[in-house]
């Protein structure tokens, strides 16, 4: 294991301290917690927005705390769900009496712990709703689909909408509508290494790639010889477009996301092909995001996320 860390047991705590030190104008860490909260929280009159999950996916989710985004992010240990008590702290810190919406990636631990925190909050009189994001098309059964990079679109769209005054019920509808129209698919070419274990999450040969690997190194759909960027872009994009049933004339936003150690150069080479394919299909690429949004430590590879745009979503994104 070759990492720039101190004691591997302390990576999350030290990372959160670093985030707070770097972005002290925007956010603060709640005492004795792994919760980062926007300074303005609770914003009077606004629905509170909370997300979170295991660490190791930075900038998700702490990097999305701020205006028009999240009010709080809760960090678990590396690739481990945050605990209900931590999530509850976040909920309490952001509620201004207008209720709190939890945006949850579909992992059993996350779903269970966010749900438990929501119940605890309700018991304390805080109105709480949850939306579960399941955008990973690599998993066939829709109920089992993981939440991956598409979650960022939900943060952004709902974050802007609640800032503009949507109430909790409307925010839930918008979040479900966004989550229902976003799909992702990834490929990995190098595994990540969890600091505490020091071992790679999976093994890939020098000429292999894995299509559909999860953001914690969960097995994908297919392991096969590494292809060129254009073929990778094609395979990922086709899968996602098919799943969403997007056809000529529609408008989309696309995120070409790096998993942690893929150079930006490679992401742009992939995005070039995505843009070309969309143009051939007469699907309008209205908004692009290229970079690292949902990572897996030093995993190499990328994912493509497509969001179908409509009159409801577009104003909040563009």
Please identify which residue in the block is written with the tokens 């070309």: 276
CA–CA dist 53, 55 (Å, integer): 6
CA–CA dist 145, 135 (Å, integer): 6
Comparing CB distances to a second copy, the nearer of 100 and 232 is: 232
Using alpha carbons, select from 292, 233, 281 the residue that is nearest to residue 258. Answer: 292
DSSP helix, strand, coil percent of the chain (3-state; round to 5): 35, 25, 40
Provide the annotated active-site residues: 57, 216
Residues binding a second copy (CB under 8 A) = 2-7, 11, 14-19, 21-23, 55-56, 58-59, 63, 187, 189-190, 206-207, 226, 228-230, 232, 256, 260-272, 275-276, 285, 288-290, 292, 295, 297-298, 300-302
Comparing CB distances to a second copy, the nearer of 71 and 292 is: 292
CA–CA dist 98, 218 (Å, integer): 38
Q: For the chain, how many residues are written?
A: 318
In whole angstroms, the minimum distance from the beta carbon of 119 to a second copy comes to: 31
Lateral strand order in the sheet of 128-133: 27-29, 35-38, 72-78, 48-55, 100-105, 128-133
Instruction: Give the per-residue SS3 of 217-233.
Output: CCCCCEEEECCCHHHHH
In whole angstroms, the minimum distance from the beta carbon of 82 to a second copy comes to: 16
Comparing CB distances to a second copy, the nearer of 33 and 256 is: 256
CA–CA dist 49, 227 (Å, integer): 40
Tokens of 220: 């994908």
Please identify which residue in the block is written with the tokens 């992939």: 270
Question: What residues contact 173, with CB distance under 8 A and at least 6 apart?
Answer: none
Comparing CB distances to a second copy, the nearer of 23 and 223 is: 23
In whole angstroms, the minimum distance from the beta carbon of 132 to a second copy comes to: 25
In whole angstroms, the minimum distance from the beta carbon of 157 to a second copy comes to: 18
CA–CA dist 101, 162 (Å, integer): 10
Comparing CB distances to a second copy, the nearer of 158 and 187 is: 187
Comparing CB distances to a second copy, the nearer of 22 and 112 is: 22
């Amino acid at each position: 294991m070759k990492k720039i860390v101190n004691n591997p047991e302390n990576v999350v705590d030290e990372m959160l301290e670093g985030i707070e030190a770097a972005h002290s104008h925007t956010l603060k860490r709640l005492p004795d917690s792994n919760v980062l909260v926007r300074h303005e929280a609770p914003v009077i009159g606004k629905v509170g927005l909370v997300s979170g999950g295991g660490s190791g996916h930075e900038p998700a989710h702490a990097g999305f705390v701020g205006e028009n985004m999240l009010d709080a992010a809760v960090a678990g240990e590396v690739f481990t769900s945050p605990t209900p008590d931590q999530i509850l702290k976040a909920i309490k810190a952001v509620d201004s009496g207008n209720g709190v919406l939890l945006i949850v990636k579909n992992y059993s631990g996350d779903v269970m712990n966010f749900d438990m925190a929501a119940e605890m909050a309700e018991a304390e009189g805080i109105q709480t709703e949850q939306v579960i994001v399941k955008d990973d098309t690599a998993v066939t059964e829709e109920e089992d689909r993981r939440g991956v990079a598409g979650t960022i679109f939900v943060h952004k769209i709902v974050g802007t909408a609640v800032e503009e005054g949507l109430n909790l019920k409307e925010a839930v509808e918008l979040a479900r509508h966004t989550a229902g129209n976003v799909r992702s698919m990834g490929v990995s070419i190098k595994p990540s290494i969890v600091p505490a274990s020091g071992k790679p999450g999976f093994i890939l040969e020098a000429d292999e790639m894995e299509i559909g690997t999860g953001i914690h190194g969960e097995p994908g759909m297919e392991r096969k010889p590494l292809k060129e960027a254009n073929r990778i872009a094609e395979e990922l994009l086709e899968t996602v477009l098919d799943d969403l049933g997007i056809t000529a004339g529609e408008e989309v936003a696309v995120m070409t996301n790096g998993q942690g150690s893929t150079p930006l150069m490679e992401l742009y080479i992939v995005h070039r092909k995505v843009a070309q394919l969309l143009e051939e299909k007469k699907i309008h690429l209205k908004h692009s995001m290229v970079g690292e949004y949902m990572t897996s430590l030093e995993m190499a590879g990328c994912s493509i996320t497509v969001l179908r745009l409509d009159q409801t979503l577009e104003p909040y994104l563009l």
